[in-house]
Amino acid sequence: MLGILKRREQQAANKTEGTAKKTRATAAQLRAQRDISELSLPSTISLTFPDPDDILHFEATITPDDGYYKGGVFRFNVNVGPQYPHEPPKVKCTQKIYHPNIDLEGNVCLNILREDWKPVLSLHSVFIGLQLLFLEPNPGDPLNKEAAEDLRNHPSAFAKNVKNSMMGGYVKSVSFDNVLKN
C-alpha cells in the first residue's frame, strides 16, 4: 500500500512539474501565430505587440498613402478571441475619427468582421479590409450616418470635414483626435 501511495504522489508531482514547465497553446493562439508569421503587409500597415508573449492582443496601425485619409495615422486594438478562427477578431479604432464606417466610439463596420467572416479568412484579410476602408470608404453600410450622407451627397464637404477632423478640429460640434503624422 505504501508503494502505491508513493507512486501516486510521484505521478502528481510529475504532472504538476510538466504543466509548470510548459502550458499548451490554444487553437486560437496557434492559428494567430501562423497568420502573423505568414503576413506580408504593405508599408502602410504595421503591427505592434505591447506584450511579446501575447500574440492575441496587439495594435495595428494604418497610414493611408492615398485618398481622403492620406497623411493620417490610424490605430486599432486587435483582440483575437479563444474561438478564432471560427469567430472574427475584435477590432476597435483607438481614436475618434470622422469616417462613414467607424463610429465615434471606434467600432468598425467591415463585413468580414461580422456576418461575412469565415474561418478560411485570416488576419491578413482583416488588415487589408481595414486599409480598404480608408482608400474607399463605404457610405452604403455606415456606422456614422452623417459622414456617409456627406460622402454620398456632398463629396467636397466630406473631404473638407475629413481634413478638418484629421487636424483635431470640430465637425458639426464634435471634436476629433489629431491623427496627422508629425
- Among candidate residues 32, 60, 109, 130, the one labeled active-site is 109
CA-to-CA distance for 22 and 158, rounded, in angstroms? 53
Answer yes or no: 93 catalytic: no
Cβ atoms of 136 and 155 within 8 Å: the answer is no
What CA–CA distance (Å, rounded) separates 35 from 19? 26
Q: In whole angstroms, give the CA distance from residue 72 to residue 168.
A: 11
d(CA 159, CA 3): 81
d(CA 95, CA 177): 6
Q: What amino acid positions are annotated as catalytic residues?
A: 109
